Amino acid sequence: MDLLAVVRANLTRFAMVTRGAGVVVGVSGGPDSVALLDLLFRLRDELELRLIVAHLNHMLRGQEAEADAAFVEQLAARYGLPFVGERADVRAYRAAQGGSLEEAARAVRYAFFARVARDTGAARVALGHNADDQAETVLFHFLRGTGPAGLRGIPPVRGIYIRPLITVRRTAIEAYLADRGVGARLDRSNVEPTCTRNKIRLSLMPLLEKEYNPRIVEALGRLAEVCRAEDAFLEAQAEQALQDAQLAHDEGLLRLRVEKLAGFPLALKRRVIRLAWQQVTGSEHPLDFGDVERVVGLLADPAGGKQVPLPRCVRVEKAHGVLVFTAHGENEPVPAFARPLQVPGVTHIPEIGVSIECRLEPWEGQVAPRELPATEAVLDAASLRFPLTVRTRRRGDRFAPLGGPGKIKLKRFLISAGIPRAVRERLPLVVDAGGEIVWVAGVRPAEPARVRDNTRQVLRLRLQPAKRTEPANGAP
């Protein structure tokens, strides 16, 4: 195998680098990363690459780790490349952050690589993961239980990280080093059957290759490639579905229309729930299947007012046609606001991450007002006292809900309607020139503003999530 040609092809196929780019090469001292460094060095002039060698001593293997660091530094000097090396106490990091030692080492290592890339102005970080690593990762996720996202395996490119050897077998890498006369270090922890990944590498993969499929590595690699493409497509669909269902997204709070969610296929519903949780928490980690299913169950439950706790201090509630994701501690009142409602036009409300679109139009009974979703309302224009204002609720607010007996305390109405407190604090109120609440946006219009038999013109209002690019009113 012409490994140089394979790496050159991978750099092009996966759009890993651009000509003249700075590339940090993560070198542990093992065969994979040493071969990667040698290959990129051979391609350096052809692609005009600026290479930087980076090595992190995890302080887990005593003198062996110190020897690895010295070896990589000498290797960088032999190639005439700049070297950045650091030591990190991974055990101390794990004690502070929790999780497994492997997870802690990975977090510290990637933070180091990102810092080196930033400090050196490099656009990419090249890592030595190979086809065997890919197959082992897919199998590892499969054995733990996963969906298409876990079967994607290790992506050739993710953010600044590239993996030019991801299609190359470990045996081919070892043969390449032997042919080139290049030495490498051996990490003995990789050949000790102490953790699940090592057991897969040392026992399960050889068994599968010998007894079931001699090309199991290639087969799992193809599976990962197929799942990556299909998962990317489904994720794009889920992001659009989340946007379609989203009523508002403030920091630590996200509201989704139940009627929209209920109409999605189950697979899409699950993905939207995961994305909603990730948006509220800021986490890139997936939500466990069991947690997702509990939210799916909440969505299907006809009763309202129930809650589902989720990891990272998130609570999910369903009430009055809205599914609310709230991060604990994010239910304090938002800053008070009051601004003119643009009629016609769109009024942005950045404090709660929504906007209200208004337009005046002739009314011929096109649709029964009660059939409109809670995020829309039609009001009898003749009964309104303009100009209108949109504001937060205030102590002592009273409201005459459509179909109700008359004016009652707004707080009492919202509680009886099952609106969670976190949502109550963020509901925009449309108020007329006389101070009367004519629409509790996203909940119900007022009885005095209802459409009548003699209505000829209506004010149509629509509450929608603000686009991320929308500035506050009056902002440039």
Q: State pLDDT tens for residues 33-83.
A: 999 999 999 999 999 999 999 999 999 989 999 999 999 999 999 999 999
The residue with greater pLDDT, 417 or 328, is 417
Asked if residue 444 lies in contact with residue 402, where contact means CB atoms within 8 angstroms, the answer is: yes
pLDDT score recorded for residue 226? 96
Min mean pLDDT across 141-145, 164-168, 329-333, 353-357 is at 329-333
Average the pLDDT over 313-337 and give the result: 78
Q: At the top level of CATH, which class does the domain 3-214 belong to?
A: alpha beta
What is the arithmetic mean of pLDDT over 361-371? 77
* CA–CA separation, 167 and 12 (whole Å): 13
Rounded average pLDDT over 442-455? 91
Q: Which architecture, in CATH terms, is 338-465?
A: 3-Layer(bba) Sandwich (3.50)
pLDDT (average), residues 187-205: 84
Whether 295 shows a pLDDT value over 80: the answer reads: yes
Task: pLDDT band for 475, please (50, 70, 90 cuts).
Answer: very low
Q: Which residue has the higher pLDDT, 71 or 403?
A: 71
Please, are residues 147 and 229 in contact by the beta-carbon 8 Å criterion?
no
What stretch(es) of the chain map to CATH 3.30.465.60?
244-327
Which of 443, 275, 440, 428 has its CA nearest to residue 352?
Answer: 428
Average pLDDT of span 219-230: 96
- This prediction has a pTM of 0.67
Average pLDDT over residues 9-16: 96
pLDDT at 384 over 50: yes
Confidence tier at 187 by pLDDT (50, 70, 90) = confident
Which percentage of the chain shows pLDDT scores above 70? 93
* Average pLDDT of the residues of the chain: 89
Whether the pLDDT of residue 470 is over 60: the answer is no
Name the phi and psi angles at 284, rounded to 5.
Answer: -95, -5
Residue 335 confidence (pLDDT): 76
Mean pLDDT of 360-384: 84
> Tell me, what's the pLDDT at 338?
93
Question: What's the pLDDT score for residue 333?
Answer: 55
Under the banding of pLDDT at 50, 70 and 90, the label for residue 328 is low
Say which residue the tokens 């080139």 belong to: 180
The pLDDT score that the predictor gives to residue 6 is 97
Q: Residues 311-334: what's their mean pLDDT?
A: 77
What is the assigned CATH class of domain 244-327?
A: alpha beta
CATH 3.40.50.620 residue spans of the chain: 3-214
The predicted structure's pLDDT at residue 249: 65
Q: Give the pLDDT of residue 160.
A: 95
Q: What is residue 251's predicted lDDT score, i.e. its pLDDT?
A: 63
- The span from the CA of 402 to the CA of 417, in Å, is 13
pLDDT(357) > 70: yes
Report the pLDDT value the prediction gives residue 390, as an integer from 0 to 100: 95
Domain with CATH 3.50.40.10 in the chain: 338-465
CA distances from 267 to 245, 274, 416 (A): 15, 11, 33
Higher pLDDT, 135 or 314: 135
Q: CA distances (Å), 327 to each of 276, 314, 332, 422, 468, in order? A: 11, 4, 11, 10, 20
